[in-house]
A = this chain, B = another copy of it.
Amino acid sequence: MRITGLHAVDLRFPLIGGAGSDSVHVDPTYSFATCILETAEGVFGTGFALTLGRGNDLVCRAIEYHEPLVVGTRLSDVVARLGVYFSQWANESQLRWLGPQKGVVHLALAAVLNAVVDAWAKAEGKPLWRLLLDLAPEQVVELVDFTTIGDYLTREEAIELLRTSRIPESELDHLLANGYPAYDTSVGWLGYSRDDLVANAFRSLELGYSALKLKVGKSDLREDVERVASVREAIGADTMLMIDANQIWDVERAVIAGRALAEYDPFWLEEPVHPDDVFGYRAVVDALAPIRIAGGEHCSNQVLFKNLIRAEALHIVQPDAVRLGGLPEYLAVALLAAKAGLVALPHVGDMAQLHQHLIVFTRVALGMPELPLEMIPHLAEHFQDPCRLSRGAYVLPQTAGATTTFTDEAIARYSL
């Protein structure tokens, strides 16, 4: 099955009423720089990167620059050694200067690689989570490029981790019956009023969620405290409450804010400081213990994650397969976290369409704890097979592929 075509689609979905807003990203237009691959046999694969609007066209153009690398390859060759292809494509000798492995060209690579993965699962006739769980450890590690992480985690160690970490098949039956738990991010965008937060939180509990996330980072910390306090009071002590600062603070402010918010028992504090600031993260971890620190949604590649992990600067590692270089780097980061004894729990820049598969693999094959996966509902109607939630849990998808295909209407109506 040869890949015969690649094209990019620039999709932009307006949000309304402050949805998607946080302390730093105040006016997002959720946009997907989308790669659609075609094979001679008529199998299509879709992958995409999230942007907030401006510059989505740059990622689309960068996707098109991958055409000479991708078109003409045999799908089965590529997916059998996806780690090698990742490395080749991520190191294209001219494009890599624009990164390397970060920014616009790496977002484009995420779209391309995830389109390959979607096509692969469709060709195999399996949902991606099933396809990945059916691979032997020796096959899984072929999806990963160890050249830049081998000094911390070797291929052999990764195989051993996959052999020893897998949980019993009965746990998978449990996930099939009950779904994978979700937490609701959409209750707490920073642009929402305090009253809205509380109303949203109640509605979320009624829908069956037992975990919510709030954005913080108002210019006046008292406002953050009041908002968090109101929601904590509304939801009671037993509901998990995540708090997300989206990079707005410096180390000093993060520590002050973390201490002020600690009494509302956050399950974690997310992105307290600049995403590149390894020692800043570590300082926050040390100062705010035992509060868990989460981060990674803006971490561009497996090397940067390796730094954070080796510096013991995070508790909850949040790889995003549409920010990282697709499935290969997602798997690399999950394996790095497993080696370090940390939790890998994705950020869902894809609205979880892809990550609902990856979390099942991460839970079952790596034995990660069953912590809730982020849920952002805003764009569900634009996918052919949108995530299905039932009583606050993701119902495991059964259609073949990575559930990343957009509806024809979405492409017709929202393409730029």
Which residues from chain A sit less than 8 Å from chain B, CB to CB?
24-29, 50-55, 57-59, 61-62, 65, 91-107, 147-148, 150-152, 247, 250-252, 273-280, 283, 298, 300-301, 303-304, 306-307, 310-311
Distance in angstroms from A15 CB to nearest chain B CB is 12
Cα(A151)–Cα(B287), bound, Å: 13
Q: Is the CB of B279 within 8 A of A304?
A: no
Copies of this chain in the oligomer: 2
Closest A-B pairs by Cβ, 9 of them:
A103-B103, A104-B104, A54-B94, A276-B303, A151-B251, A52-B94, A52-B97, A53-B94, A278-B307
| A105 and B105 contact, Cβ closer than 8 Å, known pairs A26-B93, A93-B25 | no
Q: Which chain B positions have C-beta within 8 A of A273?
A: 148
| A104 and B101 contact, Cβ closer than 8 Å, known pairs A61-B57, A276-B303 | no
Cα(A279)–Cα(B59), bound, Å: 30
| A276 and B298 contact, Cβ closer than 8 Å, known pairs A29-B94, A58-B98 | no
Q: Is the CB of B307 within 8 A of A51?
A: no
Q: Which chain B positions have C-beta within 8 A of A29?
A: 94
User: Could you give 25 example pairs across A and B, Cβ below 8 Å?
Assistant: A25-B93, A25-B96, A28-B93, A29-B94, A51-B98, A55-B94, A55-B97, A58-B62, A58-B98, A58-B104, A58-B105, A98-B103, A98-B104, A102-B300, A103-B103, A151-B250, A151-B252, A151-B279, A276-B301, A276-B303, A277-B303, A277-B307, A278-B278, A278-B307, A279-B311
Question: Please, which residue of chain B has its CB at the minimum distance from the CB of A54?
Answer: B94
Cα(A276)–Cα(B101), bound, Å: 9
Q: Is the CB of B250 within 8 A of A150?
A: yes
Distance in angstroms from A303 CB to nearest chain B CB is 4
Q: Which chain B positions have C-beta within 8 A of A58?
A: 58, 61-62, 98, 104-105
Q: Is the CB of A283 within 8 A of B26?
A: no
Cα(A203)–Cα(B311), bound, Å: 47
Residue of B54, B65, B279, B301 touching A55 (CB-CB under 8 A)? B65
Question: Please, which residue of chain B has its CB at the minimum distance from the CB of A283?
Answer: B151
Cα(A106)–Cα(B276), bound, Å: 14
Q: Which chain B positions have C-beta within 8 A of A55?
A: 62, 65, 94-95, 97-98, 105
Cα(A58)–Cα(B360), bound, Å: 37
